[in-house]
């Protein structure tokens, strides 16, 4: 009883983590299923069919590639724009700072359905053709705010003495930025880019409004949900999840190991 009281919070915490992962486990398990009928919702029989023939259903891999293309394009532009804004906000004094903050905050405070529908209203009024570019434009728009917030937090958390030290050692502003500031902010920028990509890759609502006849991976899934999602979709999603998780965890491990090494070198 006493043990339980002492460890109550870790136990609840771990249960919440388990809760977060249960649906993902279901998606993964069902990727090895041979569904009875069209709908892959209940376990029937073990099968590797979907994994062996992952592009076997028309449309699945095409939409997947489209989503990756849009994700990469939107992430690159959104991350550059957002990082620039973050630097301006943290490093400079200028007029219109609170307006800028508001303009960054508002897209995050706007429900996706409003973001999507308002952009559609604009494109319709301009008679702009819907498709790849309208979706990419929309994704860049909502990525920017998240990048600004993430990179800003990293910049603010940086020890200003490191840059002062560089200047004291006669580094000009460019060298200070190149060898001190940028490497220190880089993990924040990469984190922001990763977040941006996952938001873009996974976005359904805003994309659905602005896609026209273009089919992204989430749009494909939504359409398939009415007539039964092919098992291949589960296999692809599981694959993406595993690759992303392994990448991020190993980046974490390498990062912390390097930090420990640097710390011990500094101490020695």
Partner 1 sequence: MPALAPTAGGSAVVVSGAAAQRRPRTAYLLLIPGLAWLGIFFVVPLVSLFFTSLQAPTDRAGVYQPAFQVGNYLTALQEYWPVFIKSFIYSGIATVLALVIAYPLAYFIAFRAGRWRALLLVLVVAPFFASFLLRTYAWRTILADEGFITSFFNALHLLPENRILNTPIAVVLGLTYNFLPFMILPLYAALERIDPRLIEAASDLYASPFTGFRKVIWPLSLPGVVAGTLLTFIPASGDYINATLLGAPSDRMVGNAIQTNFLQFRDYPIASALSFILMAIILAVVFVYIRRAGTEDLV
- Site for partner 1, residues 181 to 210, rule: CB under 8 A: 191-192, 194-195, 198-199, 202, 204-205, 208-209
Q: How far is the CB of 49 from partner 1 (least distance, A)?
A: 18
The residues near 47 (Cβ < 8 Å, ≥ 6 apart) are 32, 33, 34, 231
Output 54 or 120, the one with its CB closest to partner 1.
120
Least distance in angstroms from the C-beta of 58 to partner 1: 19
Binding mask 223-242 for partner 1 (x = CB under 8 A): --x---x---xx--xx-xx-
User: What CA dihedral angle connects 47, 51, 53 and 59, to 10 degrees?
Assistant: 110
Q: Is 47 in the site for partner 1 (CB under 8 A)?
A: no
CA 37 and chain centroid, separation? 34
CA distance 28 to 26: 5
**Least spacing, CB of residue 131 vs partner 1, in Å:** 15
Measured CA to CA in angstroms, residue 130 lies from 116, 198, 216 at distances of: 12, 22, 13
Site string for partner 1, 115-154 (x = CB under 8 A): x-xxxxxx-xx-----------xx-xx--xxx-xxx-xxx
Of 119 and 185, nearer to partner 1 (C-beta) is 119
Is the CB of residue 144 less than 8 Å from the CB of residue 83? no
Asked whether position 177 contacts partner 1 by CB under 8 A, the answer is: no
Interface with partner 1 in residues 249-268 (CB under 8 A): 249, 252, 256
3 state SS for 247-268 = HHHHHHHHHHHHHHHHHHHHHC
- The answer to the question of residue 48 lying near partner 1 (CB under 8 A) is no
The half-sphere exposure of 94 on its side-chain side, counting CA atoms within 13 A, is 12
What are the beta bridge partners of residue 33?
46
179 binds partner 1 (CB under 8 A): no
* Contact present, 168 and 111 (Cβ < 8 Å): no
* CB atoms inside a 10 Å sphere around CB 219: 20
Nearer to partner 1, 24 or 48 (CB): 24
Among 2, 3, 4, 10, binds partner 1 (CB under 8 A): 10
Q: Which of residues 62-121 bind partner 1 (CB under 8 A)?
A: 80-82, 84-85, 87-95, 97-98, 100-101, 103-115, 117-121
């Amino acid at each position: 009883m006493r043990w339980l009281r002492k460890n109550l919070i870790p136990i609840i915490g771990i249960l919440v983590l388990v809760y977060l992962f249960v649906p993902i486990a279901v998606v993964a398990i069902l990727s090895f299923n041979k569904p009875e009928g069209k709908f892959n919702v209940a376990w029937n029989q073990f099968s590797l069919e979907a994994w062996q023939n992952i592009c076997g259903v028309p449309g699945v891999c095409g939409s997947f590639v489209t989503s990756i293309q849009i994700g990469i394009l939107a992430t690159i532009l959104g991350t550059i724009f957002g990082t620039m804004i973050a630097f301006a906000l943290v490093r400079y004094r200028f007029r219109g700072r609170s307006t800028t903050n508001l303009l960054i905050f508002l897209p995050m405070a706007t429900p996706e359905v409003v973001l999507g529908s308002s952009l559609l209203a604009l494109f319709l009024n301009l008679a702009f053709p819907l498709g790849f570019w309208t979706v990419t434009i929309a994704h860049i728009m909502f990525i920017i705010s998240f990048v600004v917030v993430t990179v800003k937090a990293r910049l603010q958390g940086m020890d200003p003495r490191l840059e002062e030290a560089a200047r004291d050692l006669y580094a000009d502003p460019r060298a200070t930025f190149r060898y001190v500031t940028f490497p220190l902010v880089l993990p924040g920028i990469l984190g922001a880019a990763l977040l941006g990509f996952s938001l873009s890759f996974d976005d359904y609502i805003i994309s659905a409004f602005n896609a026209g006849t273009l089919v992204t991976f989430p749009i494909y899934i939504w359409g398939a949900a009415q007539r039964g999602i092919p098992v291949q979709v589960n296999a692809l999603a599981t694959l993406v999840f595993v690759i992303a998780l392994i990448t991020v965890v190993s980046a974490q491990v390498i990062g912390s190991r390097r930090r420990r090494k640097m710390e011990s070198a500094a101490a020695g």
